Copies of this chain bind each other. A is one copy, B any other.
Amino acid sequence: MTSRKAPTMKDVAKEAGVALGTVSKVINGIPVSEKNRLKVEAAIRALNYEVNTYARGLKTQKSNLVALIIPNTTNPFFAAFTDHIEAALYKRGLRLLLCCADGIPQKEIDYLNMAANNKVDGIIALTYSDIGKFIPPSLPIVVFDRFFENRVIPRVASDNFSGGCLAVEKLLEFGCRHPIYIRFHSVFPGESDKRRDGYLYACEKYGLTPDYIDEVDTDDALSIMKDFIRKHRRPDNSLTFDGVFSHTDYHGYMFYQLLLSEGVRVPQDVQIIGFDGIRKFGNRQDDLFISSICQPVEQLAEKCVEILTSEDSVTPPSLTLLPAYYQYGGTTRDPAALR
């Protein structure tokens, strides 16, 4: 939190060169001329004015609404996360405003403004855009997975580092000697980057030579994978790797289908472990796409809501990590699954 005196509405009016009433109208969503609105908004940004300080004490004006900012609900992990957030809020008498913000930062900023104006009580955000600088420090917000620089925003995530280690350890336990790693990642930093760190740490610990695809996410993922496989063929056509830890179930499943189409047997020749634990048709427990390090999505959602709704007097932890767990999904030689 900053120690300099917070700017007031008066400061904003002065900076914008408009009347105080005009600032109030803009803040409260009452129409003013386009010209004046732009002036006020520019002044609010320039001064880093926090609209919500204005009405902060008005606890009777609670909306009982919490906004969830999420890229979409079609991705099965986001879909499950949304479902559990809704249930965790409902238990507490809160309702969920859903914002699917895929690639539309303005949409995310709209919801941040709503929160700043007390139209929602708080925000849970799982975002892959760079909205960090638009988040006022006093806004009730919990961020899933993402990391915003220079801000003390409570974050919740799976323990991705331990999960990355666990993936390698499981592959070794099931007989692999050369586990590779596959990642197509977001350009924004986040907790999930630590899956890679976990892989590298485990390689060092167990004396393995790291070998991986590590690229920014792209529509060319399939051809990059094909190229990787081609370069890892021995003269007798066998592969130099026998295990795959994929950064996500999505790309792990893509790699799985590719291996099958090239005549590689899974899990006999190559075993695959993904990350996320997404289910084909929703919540059924035995419905994984591939063997996976599963995010504990229900507990993660519960923890986000718990932190967001905790008493104001409690300083929330800046980072809360919940353990991920291995589950068999058909692509590992898992003795326990064959019993």
Please report A residues at the B interface, Cβ cutoff 8 Å.
65, 68, 72-76, 79-80, 82-83, 86-87, 90, 95-100, 107, 250, 253, 279-283, 289
Contacts and interface: CB of A to CB of B under 8 A. Distances in A.
A73 B75 CA distance: 10
A253 B79 CA distance: 20
Contacts of A250: 281
B86 A82 contact: no
A184 to B, nearest CB: 13
A253 B289 CA distance: 13
Nearest to A104: B90
Given A97-B97, A98-B96, A83 B90 contact: no
6 contacts: A73-B79, A74-B281, A75-B281, A79-B79, A86-B99, A86-B100
A107 B90 contact: yes
A98 B82 contact: yes
Contact of A74 (B72, B98, B283): B283
B282 A75 contact: yes
A151 B280 CA distance: 36
Contacts of A83: 72-74, 100
B280 A280 contact: yes
Nearest to A89: B98
Contacts of A79: 73-74, 76, 79
8 closest A-B pairs by beta carbon, nearest first, are A74-B282, A79-B79, A98-B98, A73-B83, A96-B98, A86-B100, A73-B79, A73-B82
Contacts of A282: 72, 74-76
A72 B96 CA distance: 13
A87 B100 contact: yes
A74 B107 contact: no
Contacts of A73: 73, 79-80, 82-83, 86
